[in-house]
Copies of this chain bind each other. A is one copy, B any other.
Amino acid sequence: MIKIAILGMGTVGSGVVAIMNKRGENIKNKVGTELKVEKILVKDNSKKREIELPPEVLTYNVEDILDDPEIELIVELMGGEEPAYEYITKAISKGKSVVTANKLVIAKYGDEILKLARENEVQVSFEASVAGGIPIIRPLKESLVANRIEEIYGILNGTTNYILTKMTQERIEFDKALEEAQRLGYAERDPSSDTKGFDAAYKIAILSSIAFETSVDADSIYIEGIEGVTLEDIKLADELGYVIKLLAIGKKYDDGLNIRVHPAFISKNHPLAMVNGAYNAIYLYGDAVGDVMLYGKGAGQMPTGSAVVADIIQVAKDINYNRLDTHSLGAPRNQQIKEINQIDNSFYLRIQVLDKPGVMSQVTKVLGDNHVSLSAVSQKHMLTPIVPLVLITHPVKEENMRKSLYELENLESVVKINNLIRVEKKHNG
């Protein structure tokens, strides 16, 4: 029998226990022995819970778990930085393996935690920390291990994808879509961790670490949220054959990595374009396998529970058969992160200009002087003195684009820079 402890009994914790109860016999067969939930760390013993738990397994005191040498596996589902980080590292130091769904702790301290696990010859698994139930961490480590992964494009945040999908399908503004997401429980009361892109950044940091076999500093990721995306941009994207998604991107160049989170135009024909609502997906390119996409529910009690229980089964099985894999944990920080300014991208640029002769030539001169060439231009003629101008550029270094923007802002005929959004293409154009 293998004894495990669960830290935290919120939504995901309840899902994990529900799955373990429902699939008990099957799990026993898989692991090769019985799994026993010996202790559960809770904040408040008296709270009414979704799931009935034997009172003797509940504890407020983490030492009951950390100091119990018979508990071989800790399942950390508290979320947040502290005390999760403290408990995880203490558990590892005491020779316990860890399964966690904690993206924040893994993105920030994965490096150190995996090193500690290697030293203590225990396993740390964190499939549920990225993209909920979608198999991605293990496939990257195992199924796709023969590849040099060159590009990852993730729709990794369900809240923002729900909001952008709503805006696109129902032609409503950001604020209204956010309200709807909050009403349905897809967005938190303070949605900024999602809408500002931080959640997606933690996740792409984890994926990039594994795919590119390095340690990625989450603080070095370039992040833009979706608050600046307006209905007008979404409509124009549609007219031009695109949809707007919040993409978490990791790319490997010969001279470094580029990791970033921002809204992006992607072609309606791209498989990621049909990833709608609260669904997530990871689209990647490996040098042997080519394009691969993994799609599913990126959050929620049962999808996340599915990933957590899969990790529990795998680690427990490895404990049971005495075959814990501690050889492949972690990688050194051996690859440079490139500045966003040095990255080439196509851009969508929406500005407002005075409707008078010569304006277009002034604008295109500024762009041309900065080596920005255009693949599409759309100027609507209206009966107003100020008209919108929409441009799509060919790929150009970001610093050139920014310099152009600065110069455009200083043109008298340019009334306003409305928005600048990157346009992402598939690996092969």
- Residue positions of A touching B, CB distance < 8 A: 15, 19, 22-23, 27, 30, 32, 127, 133-135, 138-139, 142-148, 269, 271, 274, 279, 286-297, 300, 302-303, 305-307, 309-310, 313-314, 317-318, 321-323, 325, 327-328
Decide: B146 and A19 in contact? CB cutoff 8 A: yes
Instruction: Tell me, in angstroms, the Cα distance from A61 to B35 when the chains sit together.
Output: 49
Decide: A288 and B306 in contact? CB cutoff 8 A: yes
Decide: A139 and B146 in contact? CB cutoff 8 A: no
Decide: B274 and A288 in contact? CB cutoff 8 A: no
Q: How many copies does the complex hold?
A: 2
Instruction: Tell me, in angstroms, the Cα distance from A321 to B322 when the chains sit together.
Output: 11
Decide: A310 and B133 in contact? CB cutoff 8 A: no
Instruction: Tell me, in angstroms, the Cα distance from A288 to B318 when the chains sit together.
Output: 23
Decide: A295 and B292 in contact? CB cutoff 8 A: yes
Extra A-B contacts (15), CB below 8 Å, given A32-B327, A292-B297: A22-B287, A23-B146, A133-B286, A133-B290, A133-B292, A135-B142, A135-B143, A135-B292, A269-B274, A286-B306, A291-B296, A294-B295, A317-B325, A318-B323, A322-B323
With A288-B133, A293-B293, A323-B325 already in contact, the answer to whether A306 and B147 are too (CB < 8 A) is: yes
Return the contact of A292 from the options B32, B134, B310 (Cβ within 8 A). B134
A279 proximity list for chain B (CB < 8 A): 291
Return the contact of A143 from the options B274, B287, B310 (Cβ within 8 A). B310
A297 proximity list for chain B (CB < 8 A): 289-292
Instruction: Tell me, in angstroms, the Cα distance from A263 to B380 when the chains sit together.
Output: 46
Q: Is the interface of A mostly helix, strand, loop or mixed?
A: mixed
Closest 9 CB pairs of A and B: A135-B143, A323-B323, A146-B309, A133-B289, A288-B306, A292-B296, A289-B306, A293-B295, A135-B139
Decide: A302 and B321 in contact? CB cutoff 8 A: no
A32 proximity list for chain B (CB < 8 A): 327
Decide: A296 and B296 in contact? CB cutoff 8 A: no
28 residue pairs bridging A and B, Cβ less than 8 Å apart: A19-B146, A30-B145, A127-B143, A133-B288, A133-B289, A133-B290, A135-B139, A135-B144, A138-B138, A139-B139, A142-B310, A143-B307, A145-B310, A145-B314, A146-B307, A146-B310, A286-B306, A287-B302, A288-B302, A288-B306, A290-B297, A290-B300, A291-B296, A291-B297, A292-B296, A293-B293, A321-B323, A321-B325
Chain B residue at minimum C-beta to C-beta distance from A307: B143
Instruction: Tell me, in angstroms, the Cα distance from A321 to B27 when the chains sit together.
Output: 25
